[in-house]
Structure 1
Amino acid sequence: MSLLDQVHDYPFLNYRELALDPRLDEARRSGTLTRIRLPYAGEAWLATRYADVRKVLTDPRFSRAAAMGPDVPRQMPDPPFVSTIMDVDRPEHGRLRRLVAVAFTERRIDGLRPYVRQVAHQLIDDMLRQEPPVDLIQALALPLPMTVFCRTLGVPLEDRAEFRRWTESLVALRRITAEEFREVVESLEAYLRDLIRQRREQPTEDLLSALVHARDEGSRLTEQELISFGVTLLAAGFETTAGHIASSTYLLLTRPGLWSQLRADPAGLERTVEELLRFVPLNGGTGLARVAVEDVEFDGVTVRAGEAVFVSTISGNRDEEVFPEADSFRRDRTDPAPHLAFGWGPHRCLGARLATMELHEALAALRDRIPTLRLAVPAGNVSWKTGTILRGPRELPVAC
């Protein structure tokens, strides 16, 4: 029986470390979309090839808003009950996106770079004062993007333990019930309402104040849109970057010669970061569904109006037709095609530039301050996350 004749249970979570589930590779090499079965509400299509992923993410015949419906295949028991900027279509999505895009301009991110560098070096100062082994995740990978996120959005740093607990719940796949998930979102919304009240009384220069201004003065945001923005930013603001810093450092320390090459070629760090973003899978193959609003043709497959399609960006980043030797990490890669680490099209991650800069500064600081950095345990003893949307090590013990 060919792959096209089968329906596969999804998500594909049979992977180790930085490898992909073999079923993703098989699906991609089949040459067209694959039929999948979600834990709830039935079957859908899965796009795994680079071109197909980009098509689904850019073609207006695929709707994110329609995927909020109760009968759309999904991973959680209950349909989504909170709508965010990721769950609306054009032109509404463009209106909302423009309101926050000002916080992520090239000029603003470049202006943050000295602060990010300062925080990274301060954290490494603290690392060097500790007895090895040191958990790189708790010492650098997590606190760096969390601290930067607090400054950007305007969340008090002293509240970081509380909202970290919430964000961990939001990226869990099956570790909490639907009711527990709802309670987390309600707690997060209550927290944001209090912050919004504070910004109304005492405006500051952070992103939250800018959004409050758009709500109160410009009449461009509803109160619920304002809350939803905060939920989205908290959910995606630092967990993804922390995971990428940890997984990227693991790769650089476990592939023979990579760390020494990075030290010997400081100018090559920017190219290395782009290859890390392409190669390191940040999720387990999961993603947000799109629903076809009319029939759409792919190679040998017709997606009918009303059918759901999921995309695997991590599979698209391993497409051999686009990236030669796609399963190999190559610091000298010069492929013209851009990677899909931050998605593509109208819903491409707004924080892509910030996340890339944080990864760059974290690795540069480690390279310059701890050139003899190494894993403190055998690579096979590193424990990896399971049962969550995001991949990465649970702990990363290092020494110098």
Structure 2
Amino acid sequence: MGNMEALQQSNYKTGAYPFYEELREGQPIFSMNSDGTNHSWMITKYDHVKELLKSPSFIKDQSKFFSTSQDTEQNEFNIFQNMMLDVDPPDHTRLRRLVQPYFNPKTIKQLEPRIREIADDLLNQMKQKETTVDLIDDYAFPLPIIVISEMLGVPAEDRDKFRTWSNTIVSASNEMDPDFMDDVEAFTTYLTELFEQRKAEPQDDLVSHLIQTEEDGQQLTRNELYSMIVLLIIAGHETTVNLIGNTMYALFEHPEQLEKVKADPTLIPGAIEEGLRYYSPVDFSTARWADEDIDFHGQLIRRGDFILASISSANRDEEKFERASHFDVTRERNAHVAFGFGIHFCLGAPLARLEGKIALEKLLSTLPDIHLNRDVRSPEWRSVFLLRGLDSLPVSW
């Protein structure tokens, strides 16, 4: 079995963590595969991951190494090709500056009353159902998608469409869904219509502000506008869904920690940070390429080599975290890298933290006896390469 096959088979389940531990001990700069010219590498140790994420020697712009087709049949992918997440300075600096004001801690704090209202509404809907629900479908997914939709100005009746589009597009990182092209086309058509509506009748929402920036013609192109909205809707809410679901699953797995949190709600922020570390919502950083030949801790990484940082592995590094394999909501030194590091540190981190904190506070105060459905032995992890999240989380109370 090849190295990449072993990685894929071990991934997205708790069994991945022993695999990462072996790599940290024996092959911390792990060669996943080679095409004879370029290698693909995975970095697993905490200090190495941070060094990789901040180093200008590892870049996002793959066009420096590979030609990109501009043929008509490739145009559907334009909404993915100008993402802030996948470009280097100065484009990254320019794009991030455009949306940074909407995601700074002061601005996000103003959303707290509305996020609490949304959590209350979702919990009231849950209580009207049977006493067994899917915590992902009924709570962890809708809460962040409602929040980001309202920030963007997406009508409430259209939110369900984003679940289909989001699942298809994110899952395509693992294997191509047969509906992928249809969903991308539908998503692009929808955004085009929304842009035209906001262009004709601007509102006080993020889409309207970004449309105005695109109209100015200097700071944002139309393709960058598509990519920015895709990033905010899909990447933004997907990670928060995983944060809420993964943290609750970890608490269910560790009932003594759950009891601590229920007895002392001031521990909830610590539980969120530990959830981010223990079951990191993002398994791997997005791709980077070596911009030059470099000796990286004893391994020669050549220009054009593909590099991934294992966020999940770094956050379980025993050299950085005491009792790293233990889930502890009272952990004091928790400098995890769940939101990345360096210039690509997650723009939405303040929002994700606030949503996670409110989600747990409301859930545990409203349904204090909530527990994992006893018919479920072990929930299934989604088969999405870059992300770590649960397909479902059946709960009862």
TM over 0.5: yes
Match of 1:133 in 2: 132
Q: Does structure 2 retain, via aligned residues, the 8 Å contact 1:35–1:44?
A: yes
Match of 1:51 in 2: 47
- The whole-number CA distance in structure 2 between the counterparts of 1:164 and 1:104 is 23
The letter for the 2-side match of 1:195 is L
The letter for the 1-side match of 2:394 is P
What secondary structure does 1:171 align onto?
helix
Match of 2:18 in 1: 22
Match of 1:350 in 2: 347
Match of 1:33 in 2: 29
**Quick check: 1:110 aligned with 2:93?**
no
Q: Does structure 2 retain, via aligned residues, the 8 Å contact 1:9–1:38?
A: no
- The whole-number CA distance in structure 1 between the counterparts of 2:55 and 2:6 is 23
The letter for the 1-side match of 2:388 is R
Match of 1:299 in 2: 297
The letter for the 2-side match of 1:345 is G
Kindly tell me: are residues 384 and 340 of structure 1, through their superposed partners in 2, closer, same or farther at Cα, counting changes over 3 Å?
Answer: same
TM-score, normalising length from structure 2?
0.89
**Quick check: 1:272 aligned with 2:271?**
yes
Shifted more, 169-178 versus 92-101: the winner is 169-178
Q: Does structure 2 retain, via aligned residues, the 8 Å contact 1:46–1:309?
A: yes
Taking only the aligned residue pairs, the percentage that are identical comes to 34
Residues 173-192 of structure 1 correspond to what in structure 2 (within 5 A)?
A: 173=172, 177=176, 180-192=179-191
What secondary structure does 1:297 align onto?
strand
Match of 2:373 in 1: 376
- The whole-number CA distance in structure 2 between the counterparts of 1:271 and 1:19 is 25
- The whole-number CA distance in structure 2 between the counterparts of 1:311 and 1:16 is 15
Residues 173-212 of structure 1 correspond to what in structure 2 (within 5 A)?
A: 173=172, 177=176, 180-212=179-211
Q: Deviations over 1:192-251 (max 9, x none)?
A: 111111111111111111111111136311111111111212221312211221121122
Q: Does structure 1 retain, via aligned residues, the 8 Å contact 2:284–2:387?
A: no
What secondary structure does 2:307 align onto?
strand
Q: Does structure 2 retain, via aligned residues, the 8 Å contact 1:34–1:47?
A: yes
Match of 1:385 in 2: 382
- The whole-number CA distance in structure 2 between the counterparts of 1:225 and 1:368 is 42
Q: Does structure 2 retain, via aligned residues, the 8 Å contact 1:56–1:290?
A: no
The gaps in structure 1 that reach 5 residues or longer are 1-5, 73-77
Match of 2:71 in 1: none
The letter for the 1-side match of 2:161 is E
State the shift of 1:18 in Å.
4.2
Q: Does structure 2 retain, via aligned residues, the 8 Å contact 1:282–1:392?
A: yes
Kindly tell me: are residues 289 and 16 of structure 1, through their superposed partners in 2, closer, same or farther at Cα, counting changes over 3 Å?
Answer: closer
Kindly tell me: are residues 178 and 248 of structure 1, through their superposed partners in 2, closer, same or farther at Cα, counting changes over 3 Å?
Answer: closer
- The whole-number CA distance in structure 2 between the counterparts of 1:10 and 1:87 is 27
The gaps in structure 2 that reach 5 residues or longer are 69-73
TM-score, normalising length from structure 1?
0.89
Match of 2:225 in 1: 226
- The whole-number CA distance in structure 2 between the counterparts of 1:347 and 1:67 is 19
Kindly tell me: are residues 40 and 310 of structure 1, through their superposed partners in 2, closer, same or farther at Cα, counting changes over 3 Å?
Answer: farther
Kindly tell me: are residues 16 and 193 of structure 1, through their superposed partners in 2, closer, same or farther at Cα, counting changes over 3 Å?
Answer: closer
- The whole-number CA distance in structure 1 between the counterparts of 2:89 and 2:99 is 16
- The whole-number CA distance in structure 2 between the counterparts of 1:309 and 1:301 is 12
Task: Give the count of matched residue pairs.
Answer: 387
State the shift of 1:69 in Å.
4.9
The partner residue of 1:311 within 295, 309, 327 is 309
The letter for the 1-side match of 2:145 is M
Shifted more, 341-350 versus 384-393: the winner is 384-393
**Quick check: 1:167 aligned with 2:163?**
no
Kindly tell me: are residues 42 and 180 of structure 1, through their superposed partners in 2, closer, same or farther at Cα, counting changes over 3 Å?
Answer: farther
Kindly tell me: are residues 168 and 55 of structure 1, through their superposed partners in 2, closer, same or farther at Cα, counting changes over 3 Å?
Answer: same
Q: Deviations over 1:260-286 (max 9, x none)?
A: 111111111111211111111324x44
Kindly tell me: are residues 38 and 199 of structure 1, through their superposed partners in 2, closer, same or farther at Cα, counting changes over 3 Å?
Answer: farther
Kindly tell me: are residues 176 and 15 of structure 1, through their superposed partners in 2, closer, same or farther at Cα, counting changes over 3 Å?
Answer: closer
Kindly tell me: are residues 255 and 131 of structure 1, through their superposed partners in 2, closer, same or farther at Cα, counting changes over 3 Å?
Answer: same
The letter for the 2-side match of 1:214 is T
Shifted more, 103-112 versus 17-26: the winner is 17-26
- The whole-number CA distance in structure 1 between the counterparts of 2:278 and 2:122 is 27
Q: Deviations over 1:2-50 (max 9, x none)?
A: xxxx854474341575453433221122263110128999631111111
RMSD in angstroms over aligned alpha carbons? 2.6
- The whole-number CA distance in structure 2 between the counterparts of 1:135 and 1:387 is 20
What secondary structure does 1:131 align onto?
coil
Kindly tell me: are residues 10 and 356 of structure 1, through their superposed partners in 2, closer, same or farther at Cα, counting changes over 3 Å?
Answer: farther
Kindly tell me: are residues 39 and 211 of structure 1, through their superposed partners in 2, closer, same or farther at Cα, counting changes over 3 Å?
Answer: farther
- The whole-number CA distance in structure 1 between the counterparts of 2:38 and 2:317 is 27
